[in-house]
Amino acid sequence: MAPQVLAAVFGCEGQSLSPDEAAFFREVNPAGFILFARNVDNPAQLVRLTGDLRASVGRDAVIMVDQEGGRVQRLRAPHWREWLPPLDQVTRSVPGGMERGLWLRYRMIAHELRSVGIDANCAPTLDIAGDQTHPFLKNRCFGHDAGTVAMAGRAAADGLMAGGVLPVMKHMPGHGRTVVDSHLDLPTAPATAEELLRTDFAPFRALNDLPIGMTAHIVVPAYDAHQPSTQSVRMIRVIREEIGFQGLLLTDDLTMEALAGDLSDRTARAMLAGCDLALHCNGTRREMELVAAAAGPMTAKAGHRLGKALALRRPPDPIDVQAAMAELEALLTP
């Protein structure tokens, strides 16, 4: 009988997997893993690490990273390309060239990720940039209106999929109105339900067929004045019903200070609200033990969603990287 899969995605501490970490992952059997800059040195090292992570659970588990480009880019020079912030690329795109340029960008990012064993990217960011959007988020967005963000997000997601990498759209149901960094405090998105449906929710609704989504640690008073979306039954229902997303729903990192309580409480509340997977990123063993105990095994519905997402992984389409880079450069103004 196959072991139950834990409803969690975990990080690891360093650039190689210790025997203790491998034994822990073998025991708890997380649904997948996420990598950060602390885990990255060079391509050969990353190939070993991703292989060891999968070997620890004995299956082809999904391995994620945040490779948006700009500030949020875990694989960097000299071994990987440095990419413009997403909003900067959109701004610099020649007329009519935005979508093709973004497709090329994320197709090449997918090429770099797949070559080291990473098969999911926490992108596209479908939040809408506004005048007051906090700097931690603003230039990670694709635009200032729902239509632009939806078109850009679709191009980015399609580029990743063509390269054999699963996109993870974020931050549902929309982080752009907030003026606080959710890594440090709990933001609020002040707007009426009608405004949110017309704007913030619209890019996610347009891309609700994507396989994986990530929640936002934000309060949306029009629906729930007290609970962050990640831990709100009402907001998860909005994501499922009003936005129409039926894919695998992952929390944002549970260690972020937008959430109150200890990690057991944070995890339990997210799972009770209806999230499929708990995300814990820093690789600290004691914290992962708390998350594992509170998350428990994946539900049948969550397991089905994970299976559908993983079934979309496929060998990358062929790409001439030099030609793709030249084409992308021609689509950007100096």
Q: What is the CATH number of the domain that holds 148?
A: 3.20.20.300
Tokens of 245: 């997303």
Using left for φ > 0, alpha for ψ between -120 and 50, and beta otherwise, residue 9 falls in beta
Q: Are 29 and 5 in contact (CB under 8 A)?
A: yes
Q: Please calculate the CA angle 25-29-34 and round it to the nearest 5 degrees.
A: 65
Domain count for the chain = 1
The answer to whether residue 45 sits within a structural domain is yes
DSSP code, position 239: I
Amino acid at site 35:
L
Q: Are 101 and 328 in contact (CB under 8 A)?
A: yes
Q: Are 331 and 33 in contact (CB under 8 A)?
A: no
The answer to whether residue 41 sits within a structural domain is yes
Long-range contacts of the stretch 190-198 (C-beta < 8 A, 24+): 190/221, 191/222, 192/222, 193/222, 193/223, 196/220, 196/222, 197/242, 198/146
Q: What's the domain range around 297?
A: 6-312
The answer to whether residue 325 sits within a structural domain is no
Q: Are 159 and 328 in contact (CB under 8 A)?
A: no
The C-alpha atoms of residue 5 and residue 91 are separated, in whole angstroms, by 43
Q: Are 215 and 250 in contact (CB under 8 A)?
A: yes
Beta-carbon contacts of residue 284 (< 8 Å; ≥ 6 apart): 13
The answer to whether residue 328 sits within a structural domain is no
Q: Are 151 and 107 in contact (CB under 8 A)?
A: no
Bridge partners (DSSP) listed for residue 166: 120
The answer to whether residue 329 sits within a structural domain is no
The bridge status of strand 6-10 relative to strand 212-215 is unpaired
Q: What is the pLDDT along the chain (334 residues), one digit of tens a residue?
A: 457 999 999 999 999 999 999 999 999 999 999 999 999 999 999 999 999 999 999 999 999 999 999 999 999 999 999 999 999 999 999 999 999 999 999 999 999 999 999 999 999 999 999 988 888 889 999 999 999 999 999 999 999 999 999 999 999 999 889 877 778 788 899 999 999 999 999 999 999 999 999 999 999 999 999 999 999 999 999 999 999 999 999 999 999 999 999 999 999 999 999 999 999 999 999 999 999 999 999 999 999 999 999 999 999 999 999 999 999 999 999 9
Write down the pTM of the prediction: 0.96
Q: How far is CA 22 from the centre of its chain?
A: 24
The C-alpha atoms of residue 266 and residue 8 are separated, in whole angstroms, by 13
The answer to whether residue 192 sits within a structural domain is yes
The C-alpha atoms of residue 6 and residue 217 are separated, in whole angstroms, by 22
Indicate which residues carry an active-site annotation: 183, 252
The answer to whether residue 334 sits within a structural domain is no
Residue closest to 152 by CA, chosen among 142, 165, 162: 142
Q: Please calculate the CA angle 173-243-208 and round it to the nearest 5 degrees.
A: 95
Q: Are 201 and 176 in contact (CB under 8 A)?
A: no
The answer to whether residue 223 sits within a structural domain is yes
Tokens of 297: 């095994």
- For the four alpha carbons of 208, 213, 214 and 215, in that order, the dihedral sign comes to positive
